[in-house]
Copies of this chain bind each other. A is one copy, B any other.
Amino acid sequence: MHPLTLSPDRLFPADPTTRSIARALYAEVANLPIISPHGHTDPAWFATNAPWSNATELLLAPDHYLFRMLYSQGIALDDLGVPHRGGLPATDPRAAWRLFASHYHLFRGTPSSMWLDHVFAEVFGLDVALDAQSADQVYDAINAALATDAFRPRALFERFNIELLATTEGADDDLRHHQAIRASGWQGRVVTTYRPDSVIDPEHEEFRGALIRFGNMTGEDVESWKGYLAAHAKRRADFRAMGATATDHGFATPRTANLSTVECEALFAKIVGGTADADDAELFRAQMLTEMAKMSQADGMVMQIHPGSCRNHNAALFHSHGRDKGADIPMRTDYVGALKPMLDVVGNDANLTIILFTLDETTYARELAPLAGHYPCLRLGPAWWFHDSPEGMRRFREMTTETAGFYNTVGFNDDTRAFLSIPARHDVARRIDCAFLARLVAEHRLADWEAAELAQELTVGLVRRAYRL
Binding site for B on A (CB under 8 A): 2, 6-7, 9-15, 17-18, 68-69, 71-74, 105-111, 114, 129, 310, 313-317, 326-332, 334, 336-337, 340, 343-344, 347-348, 350, 359-362, 365-367, 369-376, 378, 386-387, 389-392, 398-399, 401-408, 439-440, 442-447, 449-450, 453-454
CB pair A108 B344 closer than 8 Å? no
CB pair B406 A108 closer than 8 Å? yes
Among A326, A369, A402, residue most surrounded by chain B Cβ atoms (within 10 Å): A402
How many chain copies? 3
CB pair B10 A18 closer than 8 Å? no
Among B73, B314, B327, B389, contact of A402 (Cβ-Cβ < 8 Å): B389
CB pair B340 A110 closer than 8 Å? no
User: Chain B residues with Cβ under 8 A from A403's Cβ?
Assistant: 110, 386, 389
User: Chain B residues with Cβ under 8 A from A450's Cβ?
Assistant: 105, 108
CB pair A109 B329 closer than 8 Å? no
CB<8 Å pairs between A and B, sample of 29:
A11-B445, A15-B15, A72-B374, A72-B404, A73-B350, A74-B376, A105-B450, A107-B405, A109-B405, A129-B447, A310-B337, A313-B336, A313-B371, A316-B348, A326-B374, A329-B336, A329-B371, A331-B367, A332-B362, A360-B362, A361-B362, A361-B366, A369-B386, A386-B402, A389-B402, A389-B403, A390-B443, A391-B402, A392-B402
Among B12, B109, B326, B334, contact of A401 (Cβ-Cβ < 8 Å): B109
Among B15, B108, B314, B369, contact of A14 (Cβ-Cβ < 8 Å): B15
Cβ distance A384 to chain B, nearest Cβ, rounded Å: 12
